[in-house]
Chains A and B, each alone.
Chain A
Amino acid sequence: MDRKIWALIDNSEGSQDLAETRKYIETNREWEQRYEELLMLHRELSDIPADQPSMRFTQNVWEEIEQLHTPFSAQSYINMRIVKGIAALFFVIIAGAFLYGVATTGMSFLTIENTRKVNFAMDLSANTIQLFIFGNILLLLLFFEKISQRIFGKGHHEQ
């Protein structure tokens, strides 16, 4: 009985169950009395005021907080462009290493029609490799430039 009445007071059950409980309360004296009692207890509990801390409470908290830095939202200092730049750099390096590996192993296989032999071996001259390394260095420099811009730019902004 109590469980059903509390559910009615809290409005925490389906409308059909609540209607059933209401019906009991309307037709049964015992249910009605218990409902009144629990409702009174519920109202008294709702009226209990919160305890008040001392007058200096806010000031004490404030004194501690004054010594702390402003909390920064992670979104404000994570630059998605930099994250994407790092991802692109890794992708280029991995793709380059893979292509280099394929090109130097001399791996070959026959096509489905068995008519033509495909050979992956390429003629990687010293110039091609140097060009690839140069491209990577260029990407690295661009990446570090972005990071330094971000760090020094922010430092300047804070001053």
Chain B
Amino acid sequence: MQDSLSDHQIIAFVLQGKKEAYRLLVSRYQSYVFSLALKYLPVREEAEEAAQDVFVKAYKGLATYRAEAKFTTWLYSIAYTTCISHARKKTGKSVSMNEEQLLQIDNIPLLPDLVDRRSKAVMLDVAIRQLNTEDATIVTLYYTASQTLDEIGRIMEINPNAAKVKLFRARQKLRDILVRSFPQELQEYNYLKNDLN
């Protein structure tokens, strides 16, 4: 079986009884589902458990999937509800990053050739983790999982306009966090000039 098969072709194979085809869907989308799960469950093992649960649920419900929506939108809506329910079970544990974790990230040793790329990524990662879960989810769905505002609306069961407003607010907050937490680094990157000058 080739990796070039479309999601719909793979689903058709699975429904015909070729279970192995489902592996392709898992390997294709595991990182996106896992990224989403990490927004609700910062402990990697817990996020992985939730992501596995998402794929098992999607498999069980595959026959109910209707091709009107993209498979990813359907999968991420399962991921969204599953992660919320997993996070609820873990009540009492903080979803946002604590001070100790932030210090650990600040002290990550960087190789010279990776400094620029990696430090920007780390900076953004730290900033995203300081967002609340809903804002982090919307940013992840829009940028990492490449979902449109309409699709985000479907996943989070809100209308597309509300998704647009939420995305706007999340990005503004992200920008504020970056300006507040990384003024020196931003100056080095000639980034967010208005706020730093």
Residues of A with Cβ closer than 8 Å to B?
2-3, 6, 10, 12, 30, 33-34, 36-38, 40-41, 44-54, 57-58, 60-62, 64-66, 68, 70-74, 76
Contact = CB atoms under 8 A, between A and B. Distances in A.
**Top 6 A-B pairs, shortest CB-CB distance:** A50-B31, A73-B63, A53-B34, A71-B63, A71-B62, A45-B143
Given A6-B171, A51-B34, 10 more contacts: A10-B149, A37-B192, A38-B175, A49-B121, A50-B144, A53-B31, A57-B30, A58-B27, A68-B60, A70-B19
A46 B175 CA distance: 15
13 contacts: A6-B171, A37-B192, A38-B171, A44-B120, A45-B139, A48-B125, A53-B31, A53-B44, A53-B47, A57-B48, A58-B26, A58-B30, A73-B15
Contacts of B22: 62, 65
Contacts, number: 115
Contacts of A52: 31, 34
A50 B15 CA distance: 29
Contacts of B47: 53
Contact of A70 (B14, B125, B168, B175): B14
Interface size class of B (residues with CB under 8 A): 35 or more
B89 interface: no
B156 interface: no
Contacts of B26: 57-58, 61-62
Nearest to A34: B194
A45 to B, nearest CB: 4
Contacts of A54: 44, 48
A64 B52 contact: yes
B24 to A, nearest CB: 10
**Which of A49, A52, A53 counts the most B-chain CB atoms under 10 A from its CB?**
A53
A74 B144 CA distance: 33
B192 A71 contact: no
Nearest to B61: A71
Contacts of A65: 19, 22, 55-56, 59
B56 A64 contact: yes
Contacts of B168: 2-3, 6
A12 B15 CA distance: 37
A40 B189 CA distance: 10
Interface in B59-73: 59-64
Interface string B152-171: 00000000000010011001
A39 to B, nearest CB: 11
Contacts of A57: 26, 30, 34, 48, 51-52
